[in-house]
């Protein structure tokens, strides 16, 4: 099977925040998670978009929760795709952050384990989107095969990085990521933690005083790490378009960026980071011979 030109489908979940236009262009199937405010439940990207989520987050008296798609939801998607495609790569948010990957595995085992490959991206939001987009591009290529797509997924996973800064410590506190004392002290001192995703989990990177310094420090760290190597960038923000614009301008001015997109982070990561968070996801791009 692997030596022939096959029709390969790419599936992901809404934690990846793949822009709708990109998903349509590259034939990426996005399976939504559910966002729950008390008694109200919404399908992410279907019943509620990112902008509506942040508006509701500001006024809601309850913290939202999220729920992964059921195995049955994935089974329906896989069966429909296999009517047209020969093989499926299903690439999902880090299993440390969501049960979505496990739902996909259960569905794969029920439908066609020999035709479906479920991938734990060990990422979320911007970095998950970068991995999925590159997989879809490879799958659409003239010489695409299973090995080539798998290899591209592994390459991008190995080189993706994410750095972001939160606008407030309130949501990290509400979600049990930091204690109340640390939240109050951090707010009084205007401490902005720089965060990353490390081995599949959200992890602190360093602390910076003040929002302006935090944004500059993110850019400094990216520059130190990549130099002038060509990179593809995804600027992500939580209801903070002004911060996203600053990142875009800085990336274009200081880095060898071959492609840049801006996404608004969805409810799963946004519920923890809160409005005002912004950051940069990137991966290195192979230089053409």
Q: Which residues pair with 40 in a beta bridge?
A: 37
Give the residue-averaged pLDDT of 239-267: 94
8-33+68-157: CATH topology is Rossmann fold (3.40.50)
Q: Which residue pairs, CB below 8 angstroms and at least 24 apart, start in 44-49? A: 44/14, 44/266, 44/267, 44/268, 45/14, 45/20, 45/266, 48/267
**Spatial separation of the C-alpha atoms in residues 289 and 269, rounded to whole Å:** 38
Instruction: Please state whether 186 falls in left (phi above 0), alpha (psi between -120 and 50) or beta.
Output: alpha
The tens digit of pLDDT for each residue in 14-46 reads 999 999 999 999 999 999 999 999 999 999 999
The tens digit of pLDDT for each residue in 144-192 reads 899 999 999 999 999 999 999 887 766 655 555 444 434 333 443 467 7
Residue with tokens 């720089």: 194
Q: Which residues pair with 253 in a beta bridge?
A: none
CATH 3.30.1180.10 domain span(s) along the chain: 161-284
Q: What is the pTM of this model?
A: 0.91
CATH 3.40.50.10170 domain span(s) along the chain: 8-33+68-157
Q: Which helix (H) or strand (E) holds 155?
A: helix 146-159
Residue 123 half-sphere exposure, CB side, CA atoms within 13 Å? Answer: 28
pLDDT at 188: 39
Which string of DSSP letters, residue by residue, matches 149-204? HHHHHHHHHHH-EEEEE-S-SHHHHHTTSS-HHHHHHHHHHTEEEEEEEETTEEEE
Q: Cα dihedral angle (64, 270, 138, 72), rounded to 10 degrees?
A: 0
Residues 204, 273 contacting (CB under 8 angstroms): no
161-284: CATH topology is Hypothetical Protein Tm841; Chain: A;domain 3 (3.30.1180)
The tens digit of pLDDT for each residue in 72-91 reads 999 999 999 999 999 999 99
């Amino acid at each position: 099977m692997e030596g022939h030109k096959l029709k390969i489908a790419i599936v992901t979940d809404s934690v990846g925040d793949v822009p709708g236009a990109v998903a349509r262009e590259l034939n990426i199937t996005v399976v939504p998670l559910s966002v729950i405010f008390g008694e109200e439940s919404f399908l992410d990207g279907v019943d509620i978009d990112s902008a509506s989520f942040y508006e509701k987050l500001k006024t809601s008296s309850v913290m939202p929760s999220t729920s992964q798609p059921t195995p049955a939801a994935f089974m329906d998607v896989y069966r429909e795709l296999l009517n047209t495609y020969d093989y499926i790569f299903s690439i999902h948010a880090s299993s440390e952050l969501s049960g979505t990957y496990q739902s996909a595995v259960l569905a794969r085992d029920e439908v066609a384990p020999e035709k479906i490959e479920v991938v734990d991206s060990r990422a979320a939001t911007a970095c998950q989107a970068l991995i999925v987009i590159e997989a879809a591009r490879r799958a659409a290529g003239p010489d695409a095969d299973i090995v080539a797509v798998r290899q591209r997924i592994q390459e991008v996973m190995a080189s993706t990085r994410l750095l972001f800064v939160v606008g407030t410590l309130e949501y990290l506190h509400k979600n049990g990521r930091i204690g109340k004392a640390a939240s109050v002290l951090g707010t009084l001192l205007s401490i902005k933690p720089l965060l990353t995703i490390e081995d599949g989990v959200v992890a602190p990177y360093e602390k910076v005083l003040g929002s302006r310094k935090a944004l500059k420090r993110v850019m400094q760290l990216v520059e130190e790490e990549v130099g002038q190597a060509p990179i593809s960038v995804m600027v992500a923000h939580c209801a903070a378009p002004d911060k996203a614009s600053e990142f875009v301008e800085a990336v274009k001015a200081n880095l060898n960026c071959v492609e840049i997109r801006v996404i608004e982070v969805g409810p799963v990561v946004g519920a923890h980071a809160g409005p005002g968070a912004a950051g940069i996801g990137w991966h290195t791009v192979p230089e053409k011979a």
